[in-house]
Amino acid sequence: MSPWDPARERRAGLLLAVACLLAFLPSLWNGFVWDDWELLLPVEAYRRLDLGAILFTRANGLEYLPVRDLSVALDFALWGERPFGFHLTSLAIHMLSVLAAQGALRRLAEGLGHPAPRRLAFWAALFFAVHPLQAEGVNFLSARNTLLAGLWLFLSLSCLLEGLRSRSPWPLPAALACFALALLSKASAVFFPAFAGLLFLVVPAPAAGRGKRWGIFLGLAALAAAAALIHFRNASGAALLNDQAMRFGLQGPLHALGKALLIPFFYLGKALAPVALSPRYDPGFLRQPAAWAMLLAGGAWAALGILAWVRGRGRPLALLGGAWFLLALVPVLNFLPTTPPVADRYVYPGLAGLALLGGALLEGRAWSGPAALLAAALLGGISFARSLDWSSDVRLWTRALGTDPRLTRVPLADALWREGRAAEALDHLRVERERTGDPRFSEFEGRLLVQQGRLPEALASLQRCLAEGGDARKAPNLLLGQVLERLGREEQALGPYLRTLEARDLDPRGSLDREARQGAERLRYRLAPDLPALRARVAAEPGNTALQAQAGLRFHALGLYDEAADCCRRGLAASPGAWQLAYNLGLALMKTGREGEALEALERALALQPRHPDLWNNAGICALRLRRLPEAEARVRRALDLQPDFHFAAFNLGRLHFQRGDAPQARAWFGQAVARSGGDPSVAARVRPYLLQLP
């Protein structure tokens, strides 16, 4: 092992930094793209450097990642809205991550007695630095959490390795601190304790006895468990985990295992042949993995596992490199659905392990040095070109469609619309509507007509958008409510405002909900000036069942669901046998997302009125949302038994089988829903997004 040479270390670090700069230089002149417009630029907590919001809330409305949020807020403080500064920070973080990876890999090689640890670490770090799969993390500002998590993970690994060989008291606490910062940068860092456990088995630890190693392992595991709980609750609270976000359903264990077996091969293929890279992929193999593909993937992993066991003892660095790559992918194997299900940025930390694996297997060959240099230059050139693709939204999505014409044209249309090229945006949305039935052509046509002051025509376009399936989204409902209000049709406008608040698509900043809530309040003030008097009456006459029932319906129609539920409860207290009040209570509670309480109310109504198909169907919807699928199926089937032409019940059975991952049954029931509706276009439009996701 060569002696420590500070000058050589500085030269190696400088070369790696220069390689990063050359590979991703165009990023410094790129603008804001994609989710930056929603998740970065409008966020007030970033603009005001609001430490309270950053440290204790979901600053961008979606994720609790205070380390990421603080870095973005500091960029706003330093650079305002100039994208150059943001990109400079991201590139600097990537450089630091590369240097941290080099240091960690050098310590790992030294700990295993490698004869040339600095050379191996340099080449592995170089490949990690310039690989084209890193272009997304470096160029996409909203993906900065990936860079930060990588930086803190490599620092934690470096400190951990130092603690195994040094008797100094600081490395192991520093490893815990760095790991905590990684977890607060990105949730996928939770894999690290598993790798640390493997590390303790493979790497000699002269300065760390068994008790010390167990202590650090349990500390890492406790941090990971706490972070997993926080991130899971955050995802549930931000509506990131629901049946609409589950793009391929929440299938059974076999389907989840099939996806988990196949996804690493997707990333391995992109790592070895980084061509046709895209910000979004159409991973058809994930929707319903074929049995032969699952068997082939399982056999391949079994063979690799046996090979690693047999040969790994002689090549521990290769074993650890492969383990790092695979373990880093575990959080993004789609066990819990991610959006998108696969992305270049997800493999950011894992690439270091793959580079170490390759370096450990190829070192010592006469041709390895020149070949590695040539490969690094080629990869850097591809990364340079890929960075140019990220210069603007229009270029990014134009290139993506050129790579895979099957991708949706909606992001490109959004980009063209943002640049004022409305006609081109509508052309792309027209193609998308013809291809997939996407309703956003009608929505954007309505937006354009609103801008032109042609409100009656805009109203027709927006109503068509909702009939085509856009009624499940906030934006067209909100715009429809605003158009109706401007046309003086206030009673009709309240409904779209309320549907905006009920829609479950993402609204990170809450701006759409805020506008809808304000619109609903305005209309309530105009349409129901007697509300204060009505509230006083229902409070004064809790035993008046008729009054409570009528007031409950009135409050429900106005979107005041909590007050409607209170009226129903008072009415039921006075008349326990009033099944309509129990039904209305269940409906009000469903509107507020309290499915457990709603199901209890609906069961009470069913006990009093067991032959009402709507009651059974709504009870099934509650059970479906609660993930109680057998109960949901029994209730919805009962609704169909009572009313065979009940197409909403057939649709809900399709959704149920979609969530189970039973594609044939889901397709059959969605077809039944359309057939039992008599071919109603609105039902066909509601079914279409599900059918497009089925194999």
Q: Residue 547 to residues 107, 539, 565, 569: CA-CA distances in angstroms?
A: 76, 10, 14, 12
N-terminal to C-terminal alpha carbon distance within the chain: 55
Estimate to the nearest angstrom the gap between the alpha carbon of 628 and the chain centroid.
24
Write the burial class of residue 122 (CB in 10 Å: 0-12 exposed, 13-18 middle, 19+ buried): buried
pLDDT value at residue 571: 93
pLDDT value at residue 18: 94
pLDDT value at residue 480: 95
The reply to whether omega before 6 is within 30° of 0 (cis) is no
pLDDT value at residue 293: 66
Contact call for residues 569 and 543 (beta carbons, < 8 A) = no
Q: What is the Cβ-side half-sphere exposure of residue 203, based on CA atoms within 13 angstroms?
A: 28
Contact call for residues 411 and 393 (beta carbons, < 8 A) = yes
Distance CA 444, CA 440 (A): 6
Beta carbons within 10 angstroms of residue 671's beta carbon: 15
* 659-684 tens-digit pLDDT: 887 888 999 999 999 999 888 888 88
* 108-138 tens-digit pLDDT: 988 888 888 888 999 999 999 999 999 999 9
Instruction: Give me the residue label for tokens 């050139």.
Output: 381
Kindly write down the DSSP assignment for every residue of 107-135, as one continuous string.
Answer: HHHHHTT-S-HHHHHHHHHHHHHH-GGGH
Mean pLDDT of 391-412: 93
Region of poorest pLDDT, from 160-164, 312-316, 534-538, 567-571: 312-316
Distance CA 459, CA 154 (A): 55
pLDDT value at residue 11: 86
pLDDT value at residue 366: 55
* 246-298 tens-digit pLDDT: 333 445 566 677 778 888 889 999 999 999 999 998 877 666 656 666 677 77
Given a cut of 90, whether residue 191 has pLDDT beyond it is yes
Q: Where are the alpha helices (DSSP H) in 528-646?
A: 531-540, 545-557, 561-574, 579-591, 595-608, 613-625, 629-642
Q: What average pLDDT does the chain have?
A: 88
Given a cut of 60, whether residue 604 has pLDDT beyond it is yes
Q: Of 396, 464, 380, 516, whose CA–CA distance to 18 is shortest? A: 380
Given a cut of 90, whether residue 636 has pLDDT beyond it is yes
Mean pLDDT of 221-231: 88
Give the three-state DSSP class for 153.
helix
Q: Give the alpha-carbon dihedral of 424, 430, 432, 433, to 10 degrees.
A: 160
pLDDT value at residue 242: 44
At 59, the pLDDT band (50, 70, 90 cuts) reads confident
Given a cut of 90, whether residue 21 has pLDDT beyond it is yes
More confident residue, 54 or 168: 54
Distance CA 335, CA 342 (A): 12
* 404-440 tens-digit pLDDT: 998 999 999 999 999 999 999 999 999 999 888 889 9
Instruction: Give me the residue label for tokens 């406008």.
Output: 493
pLDDT value at residue 296: 77
Mean pLDDT of 60-72: 90
Give the three-state DSSP class for 248.
coil
Please enumerate in sequence order all residues whose Cβ is within 8 A of that of 6, keeping only pairs 6 or more positions apart, or say none.
Answer: none
Distance CA 439, CA 692 (A): 14
Contact call for residues 633 and 656 (beta carbons, < 8 A) = yes
Region of poorest pLDDT, from 94-98, 230-234, 317-321, 479-483: 230-234
At 535, the pLDDT band (50, 70, 90 cuts) reads very high
At 365, the pLDDT band (50, 70, 90 cuts) reads low
Distance CA 568, CA 344 (A): 52
At 245, the pLDDT band (50, 70, 90 cuts) reads very low
Beta carbons within 10 angstroms of residue 44's beta carbon: 10
pLDDT value at residue 117: 86
Contact call for residues 236 and 263 (beta carbons, < 8 A) = no
Q: Report, in angstroms and rounded to the nearest whole number, the Rg of the chain calculated over CA atoms.
A: 29
Helix axes 368-389, 6-24, angle to 10 degrees: 40
Distance CA 578, CA 238 (A): 36
Contact call for residues 444 and 426 (beta carbons, < 8 A) = yes
Q: Residue 52 to residues 49, 70, 690: CA-CA distances in angstroms?
A: 9, 11, 40
pLDDT value at residue 337: 65
